[in-house]
Chain A
Amino acid sequence: MASVPHERDLLDELGRGDAGARAESWRYSKTALRALSQQDFVAADAQAELPAALLAQFDWPQTRGRRVVLVNGTLSERYSDMAGIGASITAGVSADNVYPIRIDGDVGAPVHVVHASVPSAQASRWRASAEVTIASGRACIIEQHLAAEGAAVFGSLQRRYELAAGTQLDLISLCELPESAALYRLIEARVGAKATLRATHVLLGGRLQRMDLQVDLAGPEARLESRGVFALRGRDHADTQLDVRHLARDTACDIVWRGVADQRARGIFHGAITVAAGADGSDAVLSNKNLLLSPNAEIDTQPVLEIYADEVKAAHGATVGQLDERALFYLRSRGIPLAEARRMMVTAFCSEVLAGVADADLRERLAQRAQAALPTSA
């Protein structure tokens, strides 16, 4: 693949266009993008072998038989295990690396979608898109992004979720990247009447993790529950951009995001909620709290609320703070070592986000990963 000369071109190529350029006003993301756009990438190898360590990260016993694995953006017959996926789910490949997944009727156990990035000898990149349709019933998708360490890998992923009227999708997404990997995600969801999207996103590490979540609450009483957390260290960089549009009456969104940054990490949270004219009786709540564990870390948060409808209930708040020194001393005064006391408090800080994950094993797994993503030292 040829090198990409300008960040603007890169954004265009990623489907961001003008909107992308506007959102890229945040200087750190701008710098990171510029660096990426100046790099030469080759196409990532779709047949790459997955290192054992990576396999172990997603081979969860409870999702065997319901696993769709993509290697560098391409569906891998070899690593996927769809034996247990019944008639209610269709997953396949269409042209241009677009993977349509259609879920029709209640699916008891979750479907596990794994995106593995494996570096080549030199910097490489991959692109993929998926379209997920929940035609009826209730579904649960666990999405996992991971990457092997090595040369830079830059993945970009576009995903569309279509929730038909009355359906529910529980989406749990864990993205763990080493410092060598970058991922650009554009997630678009359209939620129909009386349908509910419950999404939990956990973003850990990465040279650049950019995630756009654009949700249209398109039918009356459509509902979004968005939970998310990023935990960053080293020179990790995460940039989350939420854009929720209330387009119909009595729609609701409930957004709780947390951010933790240590060392020299950079995090951004941009949460925009628009209640369009006519979307009367809507309810919008956004809470974003962030924790800086080092004086060199930085998190910027920006909630934006625009209301053009009547009888709307809306509340939003955003904070950036540090660990409560008094609480830390209290824990230590009972004999808990500093590093553990800090870990306990960071875990507590993130717990509200993970509390929404009903499956206790999965919740515990996410909590452990988040904990492991942060340095243990003071």
Chain B
Amino acid sequence: MLKIENLHVRVAGKEILKGLSLDVKAGEVHAIMGPNGAGKSTLGNVLAGREGYEVTQGSVVFEGRNLLDLEPEQRAAEGVFLAFQYPVEIPGVNNTYFLRAALNAQRKHRGEAELDSMQFLKRVREKLAVLHLKDELLHRAVNEGFSGGEKKRNEIFQMALLEPRLAILDETDSGLDIDALKMVADGVNAMRSPERAFLVVTHYQRLLDYIVPDFVHVLADGVIVESGDAGLAHKLEEHGYAWIAERHLPAGAGAGAA
């Protein structure tokens, strides 16, 4: 589904991703862990098409197409979804209006019929129930005045509504209370299917107890330095990133845990 090869990305003149490769097949859940500043959000932003990220080398193929050739909105319509680490507040843009515009723009792009407001609201209600979100939030402006946790849940709600093929969750668990964490995990698990893949960026083992990944990768200093199964997350929890650094860097060059 997604094949990233030797990806080099510069941001503001500085190389952040330094030859990252990753292969994600439909139906799989990949967790990405790694120290602060390693480039995890950079990877998410590059996949979603944010401006200012210069790809200097490598390739990203999504469903047989060169993803890097597409505009952000085209990527979304093709099935890429990024749950932002820091969701953006957009004053004056009504949440419901925004969601319907987004869903219908995607459907139009795919040659599907647009949903009228009845059909749309029916779908919204179904998804809201799963995430236990107050529908009052729908009447507000996009993310405006939402609490940190509400913003994160709103991201997952959008994912549920838009039904992407590849969902990238960037620290969606950060800032969530224990109950919300379970709701978000339930939301993700309910969407797991053989046609859909997830890239879950997290710092904490706890989320991965609920969303059990097929693969765990450690991203450090712009490359994936270690990959394994769900057990790897447990090892990291126990030993910290120093353990990875010791295994991969020649003696003397090893930095401490981030």
Residues of A within 8 A of B (CB): 324-327, 329-338, 340-341, 344-345, 347-349, 351-352
A332 touches B93 (CB 8 A): no
The stretch from B24-32, B84-92, B172-180 touching chain A is: B84-92
Distance in angstroms from A323 CB to nearest chain B CB is 11
**Closest approach, in angstroms, between the C-beta of A366 and any C-beta of chain B?**
15
Cβ–Cβ contact B93 & A348, under 8 A: yes
| In the bound complex, CA of A340 to CA of B92 (Å) | 15
From the candidates B50, B92, B98, name the one contacting A331 in the complex (CB within 8 A). Answer: B98
> B184 CB to closest chain A CB, in angstroms?
18
Within 8 A of A (CB), among B74-114: 75-77, 81-82, 84, 87-93, 98-99, 101-103, 105-106, 109
B residues less than 8 Å from A340 (CB atoms):
101, 105
- Is B162 in contact with chain A by the CB < 8 A criterion? yes
Closest to B44 in A: A333
Q: Which parts of B46-74 form the interface with A (CB within 8 Å)?
A: 48-51, 71-73
| Closest A residue by C-beta to B92 | A348
B202 within 8 A of A: no
Residues of B within 8 A of A337 (CB): 71, 73, 105
Inter-subunit contact B49/A348 (CB<8 Å): no
Q: Is the interface of A mostly helix, strand, loop or mixed?
A: helix
Which one of B87, B93, B102, B106 contacts A345 once the chains associate, using CB atoms below 8 Å? B93
Contact yes or no, B105 A335, CB < 8 A: yes
Q: How far is the CA of A324 from the CA of B90 in the complex (A)?
A: 9
Contacts of A341 in B (CB 8 A): 73
The answer to whether B72 and A332 touch across the interface, beta carbons within 8 angstroms, is: yes
Contact, CB under 8 Å: A334 / B84: no
Q: Taking CB as reference atom, which chain A residue is nearest B52? A: A325
In the complex, the answer to whether A333 meets B162 with C-beta atoms within 8 Å is no
- Closest chain A residue, CB of each to CB of B142: A330
A336, B101: Cβ atoms closer than 8 Å: yes
A-B pairs with lowest CB-CB distance, top 6? A348-B92, A335-B76, A334-B102, A335-B106, A332-B72, A330-B88
Tell me whether B73 and A338 are in contact (CB under 8 A).
yes
Residue numbers in B under 8 Å from A334 (CB-CB): 76, 98-99, 102, 106, 158, 162
Which residues of B have CB within 8 Å of A338? Answer: 71, 73
B115 → A minimal CB distance (Å)? 13
Chain A, Cβ-Cβ closest to B83: A333
Contacts of A344 in B (CB 8 A): 93, 98, 101
- Residue pairs across A and B with Cβ atoms less than 8 A apart, 14 shown, are A327-B89, A329-B50, A331-B98, A332-B73, A333-B72, A333-B73, A333-B81, A333-B82, A334-B158, A335-B102, A336-B102, A347-B92, A348-B93, A348-B141
B residues near A351, Cβ cutoff 8 Å: 92
Structural contact, A335 and B103, CB atoms closer than 8 A: yes
Contact of A333 among B48, B109, B142 (CB under 8 A): B48
Least CB separation from B105: chain A residue: A335
Bound together, the chains give a CA A338 to CA B93 distance in angstroms of 15
> Among the interface residues B51, B76, B89, B141, which one has the most CB atoms of the partner chain A within 10 A?
B76
Shortest CB-to-CB span from B83 to chain A, Å, is 10
- A4: min CB distance to chain B, Å: 43
A331 near B162 with CB under 8 A, answer no
B72 touches A348 (CB 8 A): no
Q: How far is the CB of A299 from chain B (nearest CB, A)?
A: 19
A324, B143: Cα distance in complex, Å: 15
14 new A-B pairs (CB below 8 Å) besides A332-B71, A335-B162?
Answer: A326-B88, A329-B72, A329-B88, A330-B90, A330-B142, A331-B102, A332-B49, A333-B73, A333-B81, A334-B98, A334-B99, A335-B102, A337-B71, A345-B93
Chain A residues lying within 8 Å of B90, measured Cβ to Cβ, are 324, 327, 330-331, 345, 348
Interfacial chain A residues near B141, Cβ < 8 Å: 348
Chain A residues whose C-beta falls within 8 Å of the C-beta of B106 in the assembled complex: 334-335
Query: When the two chains form the complex, which single residue of B73, B84, B158 contacts A336, counting CB atoms closer than 8 Å?
Result: B73
- Do the beta carbons of A336 and B93 come within 8 Å of each other? no
A342 to chain B, nearest CB (A): 12
Residue of A326, A336, A352 contacting most chain B CB atoms (<10 Å): A336
**How long is the Cα–Cα vector from A334 to B97 in the complex, in angstroms?**
13
Cα–Cα distance between A338 and B73 once the two chains are bound (Å): 8
A contact residues around B72 at 8 Å (CB) = 329, 332-333
Q: In the complex, how many angstroms separate the beta carbon of A181 from the nearest chain B beta carbon?
A: 30
Query: Do the beta carbons of A325 and B48 come within 8 Å of each other?
Result: no
Report the minimal beta-carbon distance from A168 to chain B, rounded to whole angstroms.
27
Assuming the contacts A329-B50, A340-B101, A352-B92, asked whether A335 and B71 have C-beta atoms less than 8 A apart, the reply is no
> Which residues of chain B are near A352, meaning CB under 8 Å?
92
Interfacial chain B residues near A330, Cβ < 8 Å: 84, 87-88, 90, 142
Contact A332 B76 (CB under 8 A): yes
Bound Cα distance A332, B75 (Å): 9
